[in-house]
Amino acid sequence: MSKRAAKKKAQAMHVKFIELHGDEIVMDERWHGRKASGSARTVKAAEKPGEEMSDEQLEADIRVRGLIEPLRVRQLSDGGWGCVAGARRLVACRKIGGLWPCTYNERERDDFVAATTTLAENTHRRPMRNYEIANFLWTMHAARPELTPHELADSVGMKPSLCKELLLVRSRASPELWALFERHDGALPAGIHWYEFVNICKLPKAEQVPAWLKLVDKQLAGKSRPTRAQGRKYRPSRSKVDGWLAELGENPRGAYLRGLRRGLQIAQGKQNFQLSE
């Protein structure tokens, strides 16, 4: 048996099954980007096989076919149960009511292991947003503070530089800037670059919002003022026009090329401009 197969078998031995009511499972909004009342974003209806279903479609599908993929839960320190994977399914199960199949792994009592599992499950389901990844990394770093950003990035398979920046933004951004980051998800307004946002988050929290507003004002003022290159019209040199005329020849074929030659000659002052009747 290969090492990979042995590792997979060892992990499967820790997985156990349990049935729980939806209301017995706690959902941490920081991990899933979902609110207990429903999806934090509006998912359009699936139009092709394999696309993510809307919340309404998912609930209707579970009512008809049941819960095909069990919820992934973990036991909390107070003896309750927390959602690891399947936040949207959990919302639908709460609305439907009854007992639902769940799987849990004793190893996922640890926040680091549980956050890694949740991150992997969500990444496979749909592209993760930057603020969601930042939340996961922050939770994992709190569970294993001895890990460097490079080691943390290696454990989740991402670039160390991006991991370090997301951790910095999540831990040091002021509440106003973090809310802005969640709303825009990295697509910062006014054409501001990501590295500028990261540098602002390095400042003391009391200085971040004024620095952000100053940067936005500077960016908007720069957009309203045309640069010298934008205001200057392109004018070819006389030698370049002479070269174009030489390429066209004395008697080019076609009305378009003949008209082009005449226009260049008018520009050179070799012919007078006169509208034909």
CATH code of residue 62: 3.90.1530.10
User: Structurally, how many domains does the chain consist of?
Assistant: 2
Which residue segment(s) compose the domain that 73 sits in? 11-36+56-109
Residue ending a domain, choose from 74, 89, 109: 109
167 domain-assigned: no
80 domain-assigned: yes
17 domain-assigned: yes
pLDDT in tens, 186-234: 567 667 788 888 999 999 999 999 998 888 888 777 654 455 555 555 6
pLDDT confidence bin for 173, thresholds 50/70/90: very high
250 domain-assigned: yes
Counting residues of the chain whose pLDDT is more than 90, the rounded percentage is 7
- pLDDT of amino acid 40: 40
Contact (CB, 8 A) for 137 and 163: yes
41 domain-assigned: no
Residue ending a domain, choose from 85, 109, 133: 109
Closest listed residue to residue 92, CA positions, set 64, 56, 128:
56
d(CA 222, CA 233): 20
pLDDT confidence bin for 71, thresholds 50/70/90: confident
d(CA 104, CA 110): 12
Q: Sheet holding 81-85: strands in order across?
A: 15-21, 99-105, 71-75, 81-85, 25-26
20 domain-assigned: yes
- pLDDT of amino acid 168: 92
Contact (CB, 8 A) for 20 and 103: no
21 domain-assigned: yes
Phi and psi of 159, rounded to 5°?
-65, 135
97 domain-assigned: yes
Residue ending a domain, choose from 109, 125, 150: 109
pLDDT in tens, 84-129: 888 888 888 999 888 888 888 877 777 777 777 777 666 555 566 7
